[in-house]
Amino acid sequence: MPFVFNSPHSGRQYPISLLKASNLSALDIRRSEDVFVDQLFAGVVGLGAPLLAAEFPRAWLDVNREPYELDPKLFNESLPAHANCRSIRVAGGLGTIPRLVAENVQIYRKRPSLPEAMWRIENVYRPYHETLRGLMAKSSVMFGYAVLVDCHSMPSSGARNEGQSRPDIIVGDRYGTSCNGDISRSIMRQFADRGYSVARNKPYAGGFITEHYGRPLKGLHAVQIEINRGLYVNEKTLEPTAGFSALAQDITAVVSQAMSLPDSGFYSQSMAAE
């Protein structure tokens, strides 16, 4: 199928060096992890779509960022001129090498060195994105277009400035710029038909991956799906709850319907003209 699924934040193999450099417990450091999202979406493989999932944790390296969104508060060394130190994500402590998990919870007791950060970027970040680009390119060549579904989870309640509890599902398409709207609307409608509360783009419109890979005029579409963790996991213990299996089945059904959409509007503009 011309769909590629990606779970960049569900990695749960925490390097010993990270745990030793942090004051956080093995549980607390997982607060920003998209816990078990790769397993929730595992059913897509049986539908004929690849699923790329990070095994390394987001707290160690966040591939849903620019390669050099680096936080000057995290390093003792001066950052290179090409580093983006001024993004909103860096300001929030959530750059390529995160400084925080959850809300203002510091990761590091002993800061990483800049050479160590560069090693992570060159040896893990870049190969990850090379793999993702390769999957998108392969689908595009085989089918004439490709759809990237970026898979995430979110806490059941928002940050203090958001206020109330969040919907069950948030579909992000960068306000209609990263994919054909039929894809977003189909995913939203299918979840809503199954009884889930659904929102679009607020508060999550899609991160670097959705923005970077979504080029609808070139036949490359990207959409982000955020799943409320309260649906499937105990947010204190991060253990799956009774709702896990039913949610996973619903996700597979929803994306199956999205895969069956008429695709006449999904091709690149040049191919459509031909």
Q: Which CATH class is domain 3-63+113-230+243-273?
A: alpha beta
- pLDDT at position 104, please? 83
Q: Say what the pLDDT of residue 143 is.
A: 96
Sequence spans of domains, the chain: 3-63+113-230+243-273
Averaged pLDDT for residues 166-192: 97
Greater confidence (137 vs 102) lies with 137
Note the pLDDT of residue 272: 53
* Residue 239 scores a pLDDT above 90: yes
Averaged over 107-136, what is the pLDDT?
Answer: 97
Q: In 3D, which of 268, 264, 256, 257 has the Cα closest to residue 221?
A: 268
Predicted confidence (pLDDT) at residue 177 exceeds the cutoff of 90: yes
Q: Is 271's pLDDT higher than 70? A: no
Strand pairing category for 146-154 and 220-228? parallel
pLDDT at 253 over 90: yes
| Residues 223 and 184 sit within 8 Å (Cβ to Cβ) | yes
What's the CA gap between 61 and 102, in Å, rounded? 15
Residue in the block written with tokens 């089918």: 143
